[in-house]
């Protein structure tokens, strides 16, 4: 008795995908809320630094119930300056524990839960963690359901965001991954990340 229902659900998903699959969130239930920009990985949705600043300033508070900015940089980078309120999750096990084992609860009233990833430039670590969360979230739910259907990557990463919006950063600083004073920590974290 489930087959006709499953078939109808698959048909509905296929119809949504045929209409405009690039604009729907991960569970295909609605379009992305935030305006997106072109990014390196066409399979991910990127936002500009100004869009993140608008989220932090409350411009989307009528639609967003909860937003989590995930800083995928190493702790010494994060301590040198980060987006106010960002959580530092440099390793996959940290991300899995924080978002999937004790997940943020969706808000009442149909408001969205969005996750925004970044690293120093949002070229490697941030996008990799975004893909990792989506893959692990998919494993835990029956397709197309997801705990976090709306994921974004900050284009240009912390470096670009800090250059444009230092007032949204604490402390107001920027420590690059390749900082000479932290070579040993960089070596250790790169080893743990593999």
Enzyme catalytic residues: 119
CA-nearest of 39, 31, 32, 41 to 131 is: 41
- Cα(61)–Cα(143) distance, rounded to whole angstroms? 29
In the DSSP assignment, the letter for residue 142 is: S
The answer to whether 70 touches 95, Cβ cutoff 8 Å, is yes
CA–CA distance, 126 with 144 (Å, rounded to integer): 23
Residue with tokens 């990799």: 128
């Amino acid at each position: 008795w489930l087959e006709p229902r499953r078939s109808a659900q698959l048909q509905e998903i296929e119809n949504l995908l045929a209409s405009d699959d690039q604009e729907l969130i991960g569970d295909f239930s609605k379009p992305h809320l935030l305006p997106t920009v072109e990014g390196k990985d066409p399979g991910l949705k990127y936002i500009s630094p100004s869009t993140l600043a608008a989220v932090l300033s409350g411009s989307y508070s009528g639609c967003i119930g909860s937003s989590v900015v995930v800083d995928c940089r190493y702790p010494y980078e994060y301590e040198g300056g980060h987006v106010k309120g960002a959580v530092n999750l440099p390793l996959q096990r940290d991300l899995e524990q924080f978002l999937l084992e004790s997940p943020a609860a969706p808000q009442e009233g149909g408001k969205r839960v969005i996750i925004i990833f970044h690293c120093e430039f949002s070229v490697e670590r941030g996008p990799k963690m975004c893909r990792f969360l989506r893959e692990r979230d998919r494993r835990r739910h029956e397709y197309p359901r997801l705990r976090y259907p709306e994921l974004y990557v900050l284009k240009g990463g912390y470096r670009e965001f800090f250059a444009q919006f230092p007032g949204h950063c604490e402390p107001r600083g920027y420590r690059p991954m390749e900082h000479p004073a932290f070579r040993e920590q960089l070596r250790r974290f790169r080893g743990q990340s593999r």
